[in-house]
Each structure stands twice: as structure tokens, then as C-alpha cells.
Chains A and B, each alone.
Chain A
Amino acid sequence: MTRIAIVGASGYTGGELLRLLLEHPHVEIAQITSESFAGKFAYQVHPHLRGQTQLRFVGQDALEACDVLFLALPHGEAQGHIERYASLAGRMIDLSADFRLRDASIYQQYYGEAHRAPAWMNRFVYGLPEINRAALTGADYASGVGCNATAVTLAVWALVRAGILNADQPLTADLKVGSSEAGRSPTESSHHPARAGVVRPFQMTGHRHEAEVRQSLSARGNFDARIAVTSVEIVRGVAAAVYVTLPGVQEKDIWAAYRTAWNESPFVRIVHEKAGIHRHPEPRLLAGTNYADVGWEYDPVTGRAALLCAIDNLGKGAAGSAVQCMNLMCGFEETTALRFGGFYP
């Protein structure tokens, strides 16, 4: 059995990791840490795990060596202690934004402060298996992914890969997102009277995840990703629509590009239905899953297209991708512990 530990397991992504890994047949969860809840049972913080585990949180001082260390800390914390974490485990997966970017100057531009461990930035493989599977296979260190970046990257990837969508136009992405993106700690904006029922423009320009998308697409061109995020009345989920122009393209060309890009990816499904009410990707159907549904709407007269992707921000956008990375890094079957298909209605 592979011994794993989760640092920062009391947050939403930490709890989702714990839920997924408790079902993994090849791992043993040795420790879960939380400074705020040390001594408490996991179910006292994650009530859906009652009866699933008797694990208790410990403080980071009690952290022991293991095979794979998951870091689910707030942004900026992992980089300050990365040497210590690396001394504890041969493999690490950091779900924060600390090691997603390769360029320290771009990190400083988007996160407003200098990176404290720039020498480590290139040692982490960007943890989106759908575009980085070969590099993740057998890797020692993987970053997590930004949930919004994941939705935008997967929305455009098939057409970028096929050369149908080029870097000669901006990628204007409109995202509707759920409240769990803001994390477990309550804030003024997450207070129920202020949050319930909102359609609240959250960040219309300069979103941090733009840097991730640009980096992910950089081998195919210098894409100008522009992300606008609106908070809506859901808990889990991201719905991305990327607006582009594709003059002269046929619907069958788009189908062929999507099939080529995704037919070998177990967690990406093409959703482009001619009839019915579920014709496009919808995040509600993906809650609790590691799936990303992708699709499009295309007007052949004008060439305008909306490239669509829906995910669960805590699943494919965080913990699900992290477990998928671990499977690839450790030589487990890629889909292990990730087959949950969601529920309906």
C-alpha cells in the first residue's frame, strides 16, 4: 500500500481529497493535518465522512514521512516550507497555486508578491492530465490546477490542438462559478444574506488563472486568454463559455477535432446534442465527479462559436485531478477511485 498524507485536510479541497482517497484500493491514508482542528475526527469537519474513517487531524509538527504528500493549503503557504515537505515524501502534489506557473516574474505579476521558492517552480509538472499525461506519468512532483483555468483550457484545447483555433484572436472566456470556489473560510461576500441568489460579477479582468491558460497553450502559440468570472447560485461547479470566431469551419471539422482530442481521455466527454434539454455541458450534472464535459455552439453563417466546458471545481478543478495525477505518478490505473458518475436529478 502507498502511504499518503494530506496537509491542510480541513478545507473543501482537502475534504474532497479525503473522500476520494478513502475509496482508493492502493493507498493508506496515514495522516491528515489541520492546525485549527487538531484532535478532531475528520467527520466533525467533513460530516459526509461519518462512518467512513476514524482519522483525526494532527498538527503539522506531527507530520511523518510517507510516500505521497498532498498539500491542500491556502495559496502562498506551500512555497514557504517546500524543502521540509520534500524531505518527508518522495512524491508531492500541491493543490495550491504555488507551483503551477513556470515563470517567477509572471507569478509576481499575477499574485502580487515574489515567489519564495523559485528554484522549485520548474520541478513541478502542471497537473492537468488531459494535456500533460506523458509528463505526469512517473513524475515526482505535480502542481494542482486552477479550477477556472481548467475549464477554459479544456474548452479550447481540441480546436487549438487541431490548428483550427489560432492565437490571432483573444480567447474571451465568460465563467459562471459556484460559492465553494471561495473556500471554507467565511467572508463578507460569502455570508448567506449577501451571497444567496446572486449573479455577481466577481472578476471581469485580470483573473489569476489567465496566466495558467496562457502557459498551458504556450506550445501552440501566444494566446491572449481573458477570463471574466461571475458568481452564481450554485455551490459546486464552473460553466465556461469561450467566445471565438472560426470562419470557414464546418461542423464536422469541429466534431473530428473533438474526437481526436478526447477519445482517449477517460474523464472528458463530448456533449453536443441535437435535441433535448441537456444539449450542452452543465456543471450540475458533474457535482462530485472528476468529469469535464466539453461542447460548442457554432454559427456557420457568421463563424461565431462558443466553446463550452463544465466541471466540478472541487473535482476535475482540484481534488479529482490531483488524484488522477497521483495515479499516473505512481503507476496506478488512471481512473482508480475516480469513476463516480454523479447523480440526477
Chain B
Amino acid sequence: MTYISNCPDCAAEIHLPADTMLHELLPCPDCGAELEVLNLNPVELDLAPEMQEDWGE
């Protein structure tokens, strides 16, 4: 069994393997956003907090 969800940022369809764990981090295959699995039943993904470079320097 696999889970199917969508990236909350770019809406890409994401297939999660059956052994996906709660709070697991995974990258979106399209936009590269780091996502956190907030729920498994039903699947809920959200953007994970991330460190960013200071691009405005």
C-alpha cells in the first residue's frame, strides 16, 4: 500500500511508500521543498521548517 498526497507548496502529486512514518521528512520531487508528514490517515503534509541562506545579504 502506498499513500498519495500533494505538495502543499507546488501541488505536485507525491507517492509515499507504505512504510512512511509519522513526522518523517521528505523532499517534494518537483520543487524540492522539505515536507513533514503530519498525519498518515489521512495523509497530511506540510512544509517543514528549514534553514535558509541569507540571499538578501
Interface residues of A (CB under 8 A from B): 251-252, 255-256, 270, 272-277, 279
Q: Which of B9, B11, B53 contacts A274 (CB 8 A)?
A: B9
Question: What separation, in Å, do the CA atoms of A276 and B55 have in the docked complex?
Answer: 11
Is the pair B50, A275 in contact by a Cβ cutoff of 8 Å?
yes
Q: Identify 9 residue pairs between A and B in the complex whose beta-carbon atoms are under 8 Å apart, listed by A's number.
A: A251-B10, A255-B30, A256-B11, A270-B30, A272-B10, A272-B30, A274-B9, A275-B32, A277-B53
Per-position binary interface string of chain B over residues 3-22, scored 1 when its CB falls under 8 Å from any chain A CB and 0 otherwise: 00000011110000000000
Question: What separation, in Å, do the CA atoms of A136 and B16 have in the docked complex?
Answer: 40
B31 sits at the interface (CB 8 A): yes
Q: Which of A270, A275, A277 contacts B34 (CB 8 A)?
A: A275
Contacts of B10 in A (CB 8 A): 251-252, 255, 272
In the complex, given contacts A273-B32, A274-B28, A274-B33, what are 5 additional A-B residue pairs having Cβ atoms less than 8 angstroms apart?
A270-B30, A272-B31, A273-B31, A274-B34, A276-B32
Question: What separation, in Å, do the CA atoms of A273 and B52 have in the docked complex?
Answer: 12
Q: Is the interface of B mostly helix, strand, loop or mixed?
A: loop
Is the pair A252, B11 in contact by a Cβ cutoff of 8 Å?
yes
Contacts of B53 in A (CB 8 A): 277
Please report which residues of chain B, range 9-57, place their CB below 8 angstroms from some CB of chain A when the two chains form the complex.
9-12, 28, 30-34, 50, 52-53
Contacts of A251 in B (CB 8 A): 9-10
Which residue on chain A has the smallest CB distance to residue B6? A252
Which residue on chain A has the smallest CB distance to residue B34? A275
Task: Point out which of A252, A274, A276 has the most chain B C-beta atoms below 10 A from its C-beta.
Answer: A274
Q: Do A275 and B30 contact each other (CB < 8 Å), given the known contacts A255-B11, A256-B11?
A: no
Q: How far is the CB of B55 from chain A (nearest CB, A)?
A: 9
Contacts of B31 in A (CB 8 A): 255, 272-274
Contacts of B33 in A (CB 8 A): 274-275
Q: How far is the CB of B30 from chain A (nearest CB, A)?
A: 7
Interface residues of B (CB under 8 A from A): 9-12, 28, 30-34, 50, 52-53
Question: What separation, in Å, do the CA atoms of A272 and B9 have in the docked complex?
Answer: 11
Question: What separation, in Å, do the CA atoms of A279 and B10 have in the docked complex?
Answer: 14
Contacts of B12 in A (CB 8 A): 255
Q: How far is the CB of A306 from chain B (nearest CB, A)?
A: 13
Q: How far is the CB of A57 from chain B (nearest CB, A)?
A: 46
Q: How far is the CB of B28 from chain A (nearest CB, A)?
A: 7
Which 3 residue pairs of A and B lie closest in terms of their CB atoms, listed nearest first? A274-B33, A273-B32, A255-B10
Contacts of B52 in A (CB 8 A): 275
Which residue on chain B has the smallest CB distance to residue A276? B32
Which residue on chain B has the smallest CB distance to residue A270? B30
Task: Point out which of B12, B30, B50, B52 has the most chain A C-beta atoms below 10 A from its C-beta.
Answer: B30
Q: How far is the CB of A278 from chain B (nearest CB, A)?
A: 9
Q: How far is the CB of B11 from chain A (nearest CB, A)?
A: 5
Which residue on chain B has the smallest CB distance to residue A254? B10
Q: How far is the CB of B26 from chain A (nearest CB, A)?
A: 13
Question: What separation, in Å, do the CA atoms of A276 and B27 have in the docked complex?
Answer: 12
Question: What separation, in Å, do the CA atoms of A279 and B28 have in the docked complex?
Answer: 13
Contacts of B34 in A (CB 8 A): 274-275
Question: What separation, in Å, do the CA atoms of A344 and B34 have in the docked complex?
Answer: 23
Q: How far is the CB of A250 from chain B (nearest CB, A)?
A: 10
Question: What separation, in Å, do the CA atoms of A255 and B30 have in the docked complex?
Answer: 10
Question: What separation, in Å, do the CA atoms of A279 and B31 have in the docked complex?
Answer: 9
Question: What separation, in Å, do the CA atoms of A256 and B50 have in the docked complex?
Answer: 25
Q: How far is the CB of A241 from chain B (nearest CB, A)?
A: 15
Question: What separation, in Å, do the CA atoms of A251 and B11 have in the docked complex?
Answer: 9
Q: How far is the CB of B31 from chain A (nearest CB, A)?
A: 5
Q: How far is the CB of B53 from chain A (nearest CB, A)?
A: 8
Which residue on chain B has the smallest CB distance to residue A255? B10
Contacts of A256 in B (CB 8 A): 11
